[in-house]
Structures are given as C-alpha cells and as structure tokens.
Structure 1
Amino acid sequence: MTRAEDLAHRLTSVRAAIRSAARDSGRDPEEIRLLPVTKFHPASDVGILRDLGVDAVGENRVQDAVEKATRFPDVAVHLIGQIQTNKANAACRVAAAVHSLDSVRLARALERGTALAIDRGQRRDAPLPVLVQFSFDGDPARGGVPESGLPELLDALSGCPNLVLSGVMCVPPLGREPAEVFAAAADLRDRFAAEAKRPMELSAGMSGDLAEAVAAGSTIVRVGTAILGPRG
C-alpha cells in the first residue's frame, strides 16, 4: 500500500467516525471540522492530504508550521502547540489560527507579531483568530490557563485589535474523564459566545476521545495518529 493509499483509507475511517459520533449525539456532521495533525510527519504528507480534499492541518511547532505553510500555501496551518514568545512573529506570518493562547504575555507577543505581519504584507491582511487553551486541572506544565486566570487574559485580549477571540481549546489531563473536561470547556465556549454575541469554536477531541468531544459540542477535532499513523 502506498502512503497516499494509507492516508486515504485512514482519512475515510476518521470521517466516518465523526459522522457516526455526530448522529449518535443528534448533531449535524457538517458542524464538525476535522483538523488532521501532521506534527512530526513530513511535509509531503500535507501535499497528499491536500490532494485528498484536506484544506487545513494542525502543527505543534512553529518551525514545522513555517515549512509546511510555505510549501503548501493553499493549506491552512493551525498552530495547536505551545508557542514561545520569541517565535510569535514567525507564527503570526503563517498561522491560520492559534489554538493555544494561554497567557497575557503570549497575547501581547501575538498582537505585535500580527500587526507587524499585516504592516509588512507578510501573508496576512486580517486579524489572527486565537482560541484560549483551557486548563481543566491548572497544571502549568501542560499549558493552558485555568478558569481563575481567564479574566486577566480576556482583559488583555480586549486591548489586542489584531487578535480575534474565536473559541476554546482543551486537552484532557491524564486520569480525568474526557467527557467531564469537554463539558467544562463547552460551557466556557458558550459563555464566550454569549458575551461576544457571536458563534465560538470548541477545539476538542483527538484520536482516542473523538466521540466524547463530538457529544460535548466540539466543532474542531484534532486527529493525528488515527490519520497519519505513529509519529515519525
């Protein structure tokens, strides 16, 4: 089996799993976007996925996002991993969205980077969509902001005209029930949407907990291993 055939088979299976999970929870499958996560896989896989109808992928590292966005400018690259502030400028040049906003410091770095990219015409002519990474357990080692830190972060975002709050992202901590974590994140997303008076995304669910995320209301599922296979 060629790599293209393998990816096509895996992609079809995951799309079918999303449709099934949506039906089981009474949702419209069209409300849920699949974001294949290509971290630690070669840029050539992005090209194969593009030919299979994928128009957006997720990346953890800024340097890999830059490479893949440069090689395949017709595929949107979402940054889903932690971003060091010294790499914010590069991130803002290539990211279609950032799912891992978790600090005031990063918000300010992304604001500066986005303003610079727009001013210089560096692949950006509009504000950068950002999702707040919600930390369910408050463990700083895993990234994310606990609920107690949200007021300060949201206040900082209100002063960042080049960033647009687009929703919530979460990763369940080990040992916690994914459904519980996703429900808390969905509640937070709904609160953001009510306050902003516009729809918000919930970026939740990976290969092992996709069904629970869809049931909780996820609108973006980030699937790596089930599509790309074991990490290289």
Structure 2
Amino acid sequence: MTDNSTYPQAETIEQLRQNLATVRARIDQACVQAGRDPQEVRLLPVSKTHPADYLRLAYAAGCRMLGENKVQEAYQKWQELDDLADLEWSVIGHLQTNKAKYVARFASEFHALDSLRLAQTLNQRLELENRTLDVLVQINTSGEESKYGIDPEQAHELIAQLGQFQRLRVRGLMTLALNSPDQEAVRRCFIMLRELRDSLQASAPEGMQLSELSMGMSGDFELAIAEGATIVRIGQAIFGAREQPDSFYWPK
C-alpha cells in the first residue's frame, strides 16, 4: 500500500491545480534532462476510484481528459458528467469483449488492446455507434503473469492484422512496468517497449503510425520519459494516495 504521506489527498480545486502544475513541471524537467521537447509528452490524469462529484473539481482545475481502469466505472462517470461536453475519457485497463460496447459508445482512446478478437468486437461496436477510436496495443514487458498484455513476440502478428479495422486508429503501444524498487529492472521494461515500437513501425501496415508510447505512472514516470514515453498515466501524484489497494475497490 502506498504511503499516504507521499501523496497527500487533494481536496480542493487549488490543491488539484497545484498538483497538476507540480507533475507537469517534473515532466518538463525529465524531458530537458533527456534532451526531449516537453511538448512530446502528454499527461493523462488517472481518476480511478474517485467519484464523479470529485472529478468536477478536477475539471475545474483544468483536466479535459481522464483515465479510468474499469470501463463500467468510467461509463457511469461519463453519464453523470455528461454536461461537461469537452471532457474526454481514456480507458486504460483490461477489457473483456462483452464490455466493448461501453468503450465504443463513449471513450476517446483505449490503451489496453490485447487480442485480435477484442479488436474485431470493438470495430463492430464502433460501426454501430458510427465512431472511431484511438487504440494502443498493451505489451507485457515485465513477464509477470499477473499483468495483462500480449507477449512482445506476438506483437508483430497482431499489429499486421489490425490494419483491416477501419474504426480503430492504432497509435502505438502501452505497458505496465515491473513494480520494483530496482530502477534498472523498471527501465528495462520501458526500453523493451520503445525498441519493440521501433521494430514494429518498420513493418506496420501502410499508413499506421505507431508514435505513442504510454508508459510510466506516479512512481516511475521520469524513467519512462527518459526512455521515450509520450503519454504518462498519473493518478496518485495528482489526486492523492488511494486509501486501499486496488483489490479493495475491485475484488478479483
């Protein structure tokens, strides 16, 4: 469980605004140290477990896209906040095919595409909704069985087949790094994703640009930026530590 003193709870618009500014400054500094343009890295605030009323404060603090792990939780919040017309939603967690209809209805992007079957289902649902969706393919770079995502060696075959789905705009790759105090072990996950992306781009279907690398969270995003991240998914450093581990909110 995260030490709550590391990430104190943000309870006001001003506290949220300050936390967003602090994280953005850290992103910018990490970019400078890596010799990168800070404009290359997008901050995605991750709002999982926080209720819709609280997220109105995040919107007032400047958030215009929020990341959610559980699609039904995100869908409910989207409905409750439908008066905020320019608030977009990014679904970043594992998705079962029978819940693809929700993502197709409201999400702007999806970071956890991990099978051809899910791609087919999403494409069919998007056709019904007359929408398109930005997607990233999730890669298991840590080798942990507890993590979702495809094995790196399966990525070439999947990417080659995704060009047939006109409703899916394949933008890049996503990973969850090893949860470890060993920074070099964490860094290797990020290096693997970048190198895999570069390899995939050389053989990707014509017109597919794999420009995005979604990697890095509150505890490791500076390492991710050093290795090429273009999207960092930050929750606790903005909103505060969750009181319970994920398993409390979403039992297996």
Unaligned 5+ runs, structure 1: 119-123
Contact 1:107 1:156 survives alignment (8 Å): no
Give the aligned partner of residue 108 of structure 2.
96
SS of structure 2 residue aligned to 1:58: strand
SS of structure 2 residue aligned to 1:202: strand
Match 2:222 to one of 211, 214, 223: 211
Instruction: Decide which moves more: 197-206 or 6-15.
Output: 197-206
| Structure 1 pair 227–2 and aligned structure 2 pair: CA distance change class (3 A) | closer
Match 1:29 to one of 31, 38, 42: 38
Query: Counterpart amino acid of 2:199?
Result: R
Instruction: Decide which moves more: 156-165 or 97-106.
Output: 156-165
| Structure 1 pair 205–44 and aligned structure 2 pair: CA distance change class (3 A) | same
Give the aligned partner of residue 248 of structure 2.
none
- How many residue pairs match? The answer is 225
Distance 2:178 2:134 in 1: 25
SS of structure 2 residue aligned to 1:144: coil
Contact 2:179 2:186 survives alignment (8 Å): no
Query: Counterpart amino acid of 1:6?
Result: Q
Superimposed CA distance per residue, residues 143-196 of structure 1 (whole angstroms, 9 cap, x where no aligned partner): 000122223322431222211211000111234622111111111222333445
Query: CA RMSD for the aligned pairs?
Result: 1.9
Match 1:131 to one of 130, 136, 139: 136
Match 1:18 to one of 11, 20, 27: 27
Superimposed CA distance per residue, residues 188-208 of structure 1 (whole angstroms, 9 cap, x where no aligned partner): 222333445635100011000
Distance 2:142 2:219 in 1: 20
Contact 1:38 1:46 survives alignment (8 Å): yes
Match 2:158 to one of 138, 153, 161: 153
Give the aligned partner of residue 109 of structure 1.
121
SS of structure 1 residue aligned to 2:172: strand
SS of structure 1 residue aligned to 2:179: coil
Unaligned 5+ runs, structure 2: 1-9, 244-252
Residue 169 of structure 2 is aligned to residue 164 of structure 1: yes
SS of structure 1 residue aligned to 2:109: strand
Give the aligned partner of residue 54 of structure 1.
63
Superimposed CA distance per residue, residues 40-83 of structure 1 (whole angstroms, 9 cap, x where no aligned partner): 01112332222222221100011122123331331111000001
Give the aligned partner of residue 198 of structure 2.
190
Distance 1:155 1:186 in 2: 18
Superimposed CA distance per residue, residues 1-31 of structure 1 (whole angstroms, 9 cap, x where no aligned partner): 8522221221111111111111111111111
Instruction: Decide which moves more: 29-38 or 192-201.
Output: 192-201
Residue 237 of structure 2 is aligned to residue 226 of structure 1: yes
More helix by share: 1
- TM-score of the two chains, using structure 1 as the length reference: 0.89
